[in-house]
């Protein structure tokens, strides 16, 4: 049973999921749904919207190309680094309840493709200079997101790997160490920061005339703030005093000097 989804409150447990890894033989429903149908469905919906725009207006707009390219990179990255999902709280702690079943299969493909849906009905002229700035924002976000996630994954797999061996760490009572320099010495969730910067770059090609393309950015900020609080609680339970020491050393959660 999932540690989080067995609180005794039936509504909460239905949302978070009672069973941790529902399986038939070796087929793990949660692991499959987390990465395959929703993410691939999202890319296919985006592509269909791009093709429909080409049919309507002769060719896809630059804004549509950017949104498609950025989100394809995000999904490609998730599939390329597939094994990293095994250490996320969704796989380790959360059950396969309404949140993940609905989230993976319906929420991700249909709401994450909102920017492309918006562009089909509200074409947005985008010049090359602004497009270059947006690409730069995406590149910075991706650099932080990938750098932080890879640094932690490499360290968790092999702390003496030369790419992470020189980083400063704090020892914990569990025998595991926490990184306190590199990306993880900047804020306590540098990967969330990179992800949020990328989310901004996905919305900007749609202009600023409407709030709808910014829905993902707003929802994602709320999701990550809540997720960060849940992770913080779990880390405090796991690492106790060492976690307090890490928080003193790295006081900001997601955005340096702000939050
Ligand atoms: N697009 C989307 O809808 C979503 C995207 N994401 C993205 O998924 C990715 C994974 O996120 P998530 O699973 O929430 O969390 P993280 O990848 O940030 O993992 C948190 C875990 O990392 C370990 N950790 C924390 N601090 C340190 C440190 N200083 N040194 C070493 N290990 C540390 C702890 O686990 P332990 O010590 O046990 O290893 C902690 O529980 C992120 O990039 C996030 O942005 C997440 C949710 C939704
Ligand atoms: C329905 C609710 C309002 C919210 C549902 C939340 C889910 C949609 C997200 C919870 C964690 C997720 C992750 C990804 C997609 C969204 C959900 C399922 C992820 C697969 C996206 C790609 C990333 O690279 C990742 C790190 C693999 C993500 C893992 C967490």
The pLDDT, as a whole number, for residue 257 is 92
The pLDDT, as a whole number, for residue 192 is 97
Give the mean pLDDT of the chain: 94
The pLDDT, as a whole number, for residue 4 is 75
Rounded to whole angstroms, the Cα distance separating 254 from 50 reads 33
C-alpha 151 chain-centroid distance: 16
The pLDDT, as a whole number, for residue 8 is 84
The residue whose CA has the least distance to atom 6 of ligand 2 is 103
Q: Kindly report the number of other CB atoms within 10 A of residue 72's CB atom.
A: 14
State the average pLDDT over residues 214-243. Answer: 94
Please report the atom of ligand 1 found closest to the CA of residue 231: 41
Token pair 């306590």 is at which residue? 188
Indicate if ligand 1 lies below 6 Å from the C-beta of 231. Answer: yes
Q: How far is the CA of 243 from the centre of ligand 1 (A)?
A: 15
Rounded to whole angstroms, the Cα distance separating 167 from 225 reads 27
Token pair 């959660």 is at which residue? 253
What tens digit of pLDDT does each residue of 143-182 get?
999 999 999 999 999 999 999 999 999 999 998 999 999 9
What tens digit of pLDDT does each residue of 15-70 get?
989 899 999 999 999 999 999 999 999 999 999 999 999 999 999 999 999 999 99
The pLDDT, as a whole number, for residue 101 is 94
**Are 41 and 109 spatial neighbours (Cβ–Cβ below 8 Å)?**
yes
The pLDDT, as a whole number, for residue 104 is 95
What tens digit of pLDDT does each residue of 82-127 get?
988 888 888 888 899 999 999 999 999 999 999 999 999 999 889 9
DSSP SS3 for 24: strand
Rounded to whole angstroms, the Cα distance separating 173 from 236 reads 12
DSSP helix, strand, coil percent of the chain (3-state; round to 5): 65, 5, 30
Which of these, 145, 18, 164, lies nearest to 73 by C-alpha position? 145
The pLDDT, as a whole number, for residue 31 is 92
Please report the atom of ligand 2 found closest to the CA of residue 98: 1
Which of these, 91, 102, 95, lies nearest to 38 by C-alpha position? 102
Closest ligand to Cα 247: 1
Rounded to whole angstroms, the Cα distance separating 101 from 14 reads 11
Q: Give the ipTM.
A: 0.95
State the average pLDDT over residues 131-152. Answer: 97
What tens digit of pLDDT does each residue of 4-29 get?
778 888 898 999 898 999 999 999 99
The pLDDT, as a whole number, for residue 93 is 84
What tens digit of pLDDT does each residue of 222-235 get?
999 999 999 999 99
Token pair 């804020």 is at which residue? 187
DSSP SS3 for 177: strand
Q: Residues lining ligand 2, judged by CB closer than 6 Å? A: 34-35, 77-78, 85, 88, 90, 99, 102-104, 107-108
The pLDDT, as a whole number, for residue 248 is 94
**Are 141 and 198 spatial neighbours (Cβ–Cβ below 8 Å)?**
yes
């Amino acid at each position: 049973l999932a540690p989080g989804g067995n609180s005794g409150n039936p509504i909460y447990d239905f949302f978070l999921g009672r069973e941790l890894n529902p399986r038939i033989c070796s087929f793990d429903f949660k692991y499959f749904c987390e990465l395959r149908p929703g993410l691939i469905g999202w890319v296919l919906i985006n592509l269909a919207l791009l093709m429909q725009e080409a049919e309507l207006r002769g060719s896809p707009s630059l804004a549509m190309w950017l949104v498609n390219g950025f989100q394809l990179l995000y999904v490609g990255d998730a599939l390329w680094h597939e094994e990293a999902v095994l250490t996320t709280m969704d796989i380790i702690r959360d059950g396969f309840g309404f949140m993940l079943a609905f989230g993976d299969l319906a929420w991700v493909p249909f709401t994450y493709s909102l920017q492309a849906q918006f562009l089909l009905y509200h074409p947005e002229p985008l010049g090359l200079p602004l497009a270059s700035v947006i690409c730069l924002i995406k590149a910075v976000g991706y650099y932080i997101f990938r750098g932080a996630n890879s640094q932690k994954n490499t360290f968790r797999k092999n702390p003496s790997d030369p790419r992470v061996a020189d980083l400063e760490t704090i020892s914990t009572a569990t025998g595991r160490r926490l990184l306190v320099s590199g990306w993880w010495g900047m804020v306590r969730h540098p990967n969330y920061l990179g992800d949020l910067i990328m989310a901004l770059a996905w919305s900007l090609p749609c202009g600023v005339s409407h709030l709808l393309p910014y829905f993902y950015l707003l929802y994602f900020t709320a999701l990550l703030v809540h997720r960060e609080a849940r992770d913080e609680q779990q880390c405090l339970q796991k690492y106790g005093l060492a976690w307090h020491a890490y928080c003193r050393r790295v006081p900001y959660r997601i955005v340096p000097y702000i939050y």
